[in-house]
Every structure is written in structure tokens, then in C-alpha cells.
Amino acid sequence: MNALAARRRHPAAIALLLMLGLLVTGFAYAAVAPQPAQAETSTAEDVAAGKQLFVANCATCHGVNAEGRATGKGDQVAGPALAGVGAAAVDFQMGTGRMPMRAPAVQAPRATVQFSQDEIDKVAAYVASLAPGPAVPSEEDVDPSKGDPAKGGELFRVNCAMCHNFAGSGGALTRGKYAPALEGVSGKHIYEAMETGPQSMPVFNDGNIAPEEKRDIIAFLKSIEDAPQQGGHALGSLGPVTEGWFAWFFGLGILIATAVWLGQKAA
């Protein structure tokens, strides 16, 4: 101890300490950091076929090597670079018909799916081969029957409802962007959206919402989709705006019609 204390003013001490600090931080981070999900094993042929599909359908915007392209107008991007987005992002974007994008717009809307699942898997394999990224979740990861809808509901209200609405009916964002309605979206795509954060959506990685919790959220969404309409027609599950609209036009309309009818009745 005395020897150490004596050398604490040695010119090399500061460098040594820095080195030590960096090493400890580095190892500690490596130990606790969320593991990037590994792409599913895929054959070299899949990757090659995927690359072919990619060049034919996606390269116009994303570049021949998926390096991304600018439009040349300011810092506008035609398509972002895709290294590291993972198979999950490809599966989500192509599997919901958002990609290939039909027209430039503030946001890619959900649309008819243009490719078979097999083709989508191949493109996903190619993109995943560029750099490691989140993989497509397994059947079990997204099985709503294994999740807890009550817990999922709580997570949904805390993390998702501010944009997607309490019943997943969707909500508006700035400048024409929007959080889409979640009704009819498959569990796999919901999981992938949370994992990859498409468009305006933030990424909810496994450190943020654990895989089981993601499954709970899927279970919640499926449960409200399957639930009977306890109170009758839900009027779009959009809250008091549609209720007020309904009271004014429908409720008042019928009541005035009956008032006019009664007024015309001879006494």
C-alpha cells in the first residue's frame, strides 16, 4: 500500500488509471448491454436470392448495396441505409405492404403486401447479412395465449396509448404523420414494430420492454380485438368527439323529428 501511495504522483499513474477505467467500463458494458439479436440462420443461396430481389425492387431508393441514397434536395433522404436494421425491420416493412413505398409521402401507409412471405424472408436474410440486427421473432414470442393481457394493458397505456389511442384506434402526429390503428395487425408485426421503431415510432428494445412484456402487449391488443362490444356499437373507439357528434346529429335529429311530428298532430 505504501509503495502504491508513494507512486501515486508518478507521471504514468494518470494514464494507467484512465486505461483501467476504460477497461472496467468496457467489460461492464459488454456484460450488461442488451445483446443485439442475431439473424436467423439462413443459407448463402437465400442471401443471394434476397440480394437479387433487393436490387430489382428496393435499390432505387436504398442504393444497390443498401447504403442509402439522398434525393439531392437538401438533406432529404430517398431511402435510409439498411445495414443493421435486421431481418425484423424488413419483415415488418414488406410484410405490412409499407415497402416498396408506393409514392413519396410523409409516412408510408399500410398497404397490400406485394411479395410472398418466402420472398420477404430472402430479402430479410440479405439485409440481415449486411450487419447484425433484430431478428424476426419466433412463434412463441408472439403467441397471445401465453401473455397476460392485464399486464399488457398497463404497459400499453404507459408506453403506447399516447399515440395509438387507448383502444389502439390510432392518433395524429405532427404535419400529417400519424400513429396507425392497430386493429388487425398480426402479433409478429406488432413485436417487430416495437423492436425496430419504424417511421415516427420510437424503438422499444428488450431493455426497455422485455420480450415477455411485448408478448403481454400483443395479448392485450388481441383481447380487446376479440372482446365483445359490451356497451353496443363503439363509435370507432375515438372518445368523446364521436360521442358528441352522435348526440348532436343522431340524438337531436331523432328528437326534433318526433317533436315536429307531435307538433303536427291535431289536438
Partner 1 sequence: MSTDTVPSGRPADRLRDGDTKVEPGPSAAARKVGGVAGWIDDRTSSAKGVNYLLRKVFPDHWSFMLGEIAMYSLIICLISGALLTLWFVPSATQVVYDGSYVPLRGQTMSDAYASTLNISFDIKGGLIVRQIHHWAALMFVVGLTVHMFRVFFTGAFRKPRELNWVIGTVLALLAAIEGFAGYSLPDDLLSGTGLRAMEGFVQTAPVIGSYLAYGIFGGPFPGEAIIPRLYSAHVLLLPAVIVGLFTAHIVLVAVQRHTQFPGPGRTNDNVVGYRVMPVYAAKAGGFFFIVFGIIALISALFTINPIWAYGPYDPSPVTAGSQPDWYMGAYDGALRLLPGWLEFEIFGNTLSLNIALGALVLLPLVYIVLGAYPFVERWVTGDTGEHHLLDRPRNNPTRTGIGMAGIVAYSVFMFAAGNDIMAIKLGMSINDITRVFQISLFVGPPLAFWVTKRICLSLQRRDRDLALHARESGRIMRGADGSFHERHDALTEQERWILVQHEPVAPLQLTAQVDENGVERPLSRKDRLRAKLSHFYFKDAVNPVTPAELAAAHHDGQQAEAIEAPLDYEGIDGRQDHGPGDGGHGADVDSQARGVGSASRMKE
The annotation places the binding site at 58, 61-62, 160, 163-164
For cell 414470442, name the residue: 141
- Tell me which H or E stretch contains 180: none
Under 8 Å CB-to-CB from 2, ≥6 apart: which residues? Answer: none
With respect to partner 1, which residue has the nearer C-beta, 63 or 147? 147
Distance CA 221, CA 217 (A): 6
Binding residues for heme c: 58, 61-62, 160, 163-164
> In whole angstroms, how close is the CB of 193 to partner 1 at the nearest point?
16
Please give the distance of CA 256 from its chain centroid, rounded to a whole number. 47
Identify whether the C-beta of residue 83 lies closer than 8 Å to the C-beta of residue 66: yes
Q: Which segment (6-14, 72-80, 125-133, 152-160) binds partner 1 by CB under 8 A?
A: 152-160
Q: What is the residue type of 118?
A: D
Interaction between residue 204 and partner 1 (CB under 8 A) = no
The answer to whether residue 233 forms part of the interface with partner 1 (CB under 8 A) is yes
Q: Count of residues for the chain?
A: 267
- The stretch near partner 1 (CB under 8 A) out of 90-98, 130-138, 163-171, 188-196 is 163-171
Among the listed residues 75, 175, 184, 228, the single contact to partner 1 using CB under 8 A: 175
Cα-Cα-Cα-Cα torsion 95, 171, 213, 127, nearest 10 degrees, comes to 30
Which member of 97, 100, 170, 211 binds partner 1 (CB under 8 A)? 170
CB distance 65 to 72 below 8 Å = no
Q: How far is the CB of 163 from partner 1 (least distance, A)?
A: 6
Q: Residue 10, SS3?
A: coil
Q: How far is Cα 214 from Cα 134, in angstroms, rounded to an integer?
A: 14
- Which residue type does 185 have? V
The rounded distance, in Å, linking the Cα atoms of 218 and 192 is: 11
**Minimal distance, residue 137 CB to partner 1, in Å:** 23
The contact mask relative to partner 1 for 74-113 (x = CB under 8 A, - = no) is --------------------------------x-------
**Which is closer to partner 1, CB of 153 or CB of 187?**
153
Interacting residues toward partner 1 by CB under 8 A: 106, 149-150, 153-154, 157-158, 161-167, 169-176, 178-179, 220, 223-224, 227, 229-235, 237-248, 250-252, 254-256, 258-260, 262-265, 267
